[in-house]
Amino acid sequence: MEKKIFNPQVQENDIPSKIVAGLERISEVFKVLLWEKAKIVGLSPIQIQILIFIAYHKQEFCNVSHLAKEFNVTKPTVSDAVRILNKKEMIRKDFSSSDSRRYSIRLSDLGKKIVSETEDFADPLRNQIKNVKQADLESLYATLSTLIYQLNQNGILTVQRTCYGCKFFDKVGNKSYCNLLEKELFTADIRLDCLEFEEKTTAKN
Ligand code: SF4
């Protein structure tokens, strides 16, 4: 029988339900922190997320289609956000690809400045997490990274770039290995958003 996760009485005797309810609380933290920054710089949360994403990801991901998948919003929502960012001169549209209808998005100098003012929005959460013991951190990270990959494989999370879904990832016995970096990957080495990630052909994304 399905558990009624958000019924506190169900949670009392069910740790998975407690964890899911806890993750829901933490998702609220992201909303609160992002809104605080949004008010300061006069942008919406999704506009800030787009700017920060563009700052650190390769051009092939910096387009409306990918951003919609990355942030699980519609393409019109991203197009609207991009239009306003463009009007505020925080981004530039780059039409230099072979398909003249498509453009990728680059940051302007003003956009870079806004990124530097907003990208620390999640620091309060990190400051709490960093006080956890190293062994517990690694265990939490192992659970989180696996969960993210599994949710992607189940079709719930659209985008993931963990080692587990990467074509360079290999399992040799119990050991994880990156064929690109040519090294064994311990728990702390598993990447969550690897710049060299290339999707495994059998993986669903
Ligand atoms: S290339 Fe990156 S994502 Fe792929 S296995 Fe190596 S470290 Fe992991």
pLDDT score of 205 more than 50: no
104 phi and psi angles, rounded to 5 deg: -105, 165
Can you tell me whether residue 135 is helix, strand or coil? helix
**Can you read off the two tokens belonging to residue 131?**
């006080």
| Cα 6 to averaged position of ligand 1 atoms, centre (Å) | 36
End-to-end, the C-alpha distance of the chain in Å comes to 29
State pLDDT tens for residues 3-29: 799 999 989 999 999 999 999 999 999
- Domain that residue 107 falls in: 29-123
Residue 8 CA, ligand 1 centroid: distance in Å: 40
| Pair of tokens at residue 174 | 């119990």
**Domain-terminating residue out of 123, 142, 164:** 123
DSSP annotation of 81 reads H
pLDDT of 131 strictly over 90:
yes
Is 202 part of a structural domain of the chain? Answer: no
Residue 147 located in a structural domain: yes
Q: Which two tokens stand for residue 203?
A: 């993986």
Report the pLDDT value the prediction gives residue 201, as an integer from 0 to 100.
85
CA nearest ligand 1 atom 3, residue: 163
Of all residues in the chain, the percent with pLDDT exceeding 70 is 97
Domain presence at residue 174: yes
> Would you say the CB of residue 181 lies under 6 angstroms from ligand 1?
yes
- 21 located within any domain: no
Atom from ligand 1 closest to the CA of residue 170:
5
Structural domain count, the chain: 2
Q: What confidence tens digit (pLDDT) does each residue in 70-107 have?
A: 999 999 999 999 999 999 999 999 988 777 678 999 99
Ligand 1 site, residue 168, Cβ cutoff 6 A: yes
Pocket residue to mutate for ligand 1, from 148, 149, 194, 200, most atoms within 8 A of Cβ:
194
Q: Mean pLDDT in the chain? A: 94
